[in-house]
Amino acid sequence: MLLTEDQMDVLKELFNRGIGKSAEIISAMLDAPLSLSVPTLRLQSIHELGESFSSEDVIGIRQIFDGKYRGDAMVLYGRTSCLEVISALLGYEETPDDFGDLERETLSEFGNIILSSCLFEFEEALGCHLPTLAPAIVHGDFPDCFISKEHGNHLMTLTMEFSVSGSASTGHITLLLDPDDIADMASKMDAYLERLMA
């Protein structure tokens, strides 16, 4: 791993806080409690990343951040979970079979709330700007259709799983970062730690 224990801890804790903050809004939107896993941080090959998501049909909301640091922030679901989440968000009595414009917009907004909260936490703590492109719905082979082509063979992945109480709906919130960028961000993490300990 490229980072020290403390630097890894910073990344996981900031991720946890960002997602935790969005949980209040998301839970209100879904009208159901949301369970969140403990965050994990891994250096993975693209192949390993593909194996980490077992669903056969992956749908995601992806926001590319593209400034000094480049990466992908995404909320990923299996198709069934995704349709159930949309149904809960829009108050449908029956789960739809497919997506229309309203469903896509709702899903984008849902992802945007989670991902913006997460990225904002990093920006505030580390003093870096992570400008994002508009959220996009992505559907297709995972991970090939979901990651920026500029990434190398290995990626740093920060992931939390969520599940919606009272349903089988689960999803993954994932940040994919380039290892070179992470190495560059390490000094910002150290500066953050120094501020904490001062």
- Residue 131 CA from chain centroid, whole number: 15
Q: Least distance in Å: CB of 116 to other proteins?
A: 15
Q: What are phi and psi of 62, to 5 degrees?
A: -120, 135
- What stretches of the chain show up as alpha helix (H) in DSSP? 5-30, 46-52, 79-90, 101-126, 179-197
When the beta carbons of 20 and 96 are compared against other proteins, the nearer one is: 20
For other proteins, the closer CB: 12 or 104 = 12
Distance (Å, whole) CA 39 – CA 57: 24
Q: What is the DSSP secondary structure assignment for residue 45, as one 8-state letter?
A: E
- CB of 17 or CB of 104, closer to other proteins: 17
Pairing of strands 170-177, 136-140: unpaired
Which C-beta is closer to other proteins: that of 48 or that of 161? 161
Distance of closest approach, residue 140 Cβ to other proteins, in angstroms: 32
**Residue 14 C-beta: closest distance to other proteins, Å:** 9
Nearest distance from residue 100's CB to other proteins, in Å?
Answer: 29
**Residues paired with residue 140 on neighbouring β-strands, in sequence order:** 58
Beta carbon of residue 72, minimum distance to other proteins (angstroms, whole number): 23
Q: Enumerate binding residues for other proteins (CB under 8 A).
A: 5-6, 9-10, 12-13, 16-21, 23-24, 26-28, 33-34, 36-38, 165, 193, 196-197
Q: Which is nearer to other proteins, 26 or 58 (CB)?
A: 26
CB of 188 to other proteins, least distance (A): 14
Enter the tokens of residue 51. Answer: 């194996």
Nearest to 36, CA basis, from 55, 9, 15: 15
Residue in 63, 43, 2 with CA at minimum distance from that of residue 185: 2
Q: How far is CA 15 from the centre of its chain?
A: 9
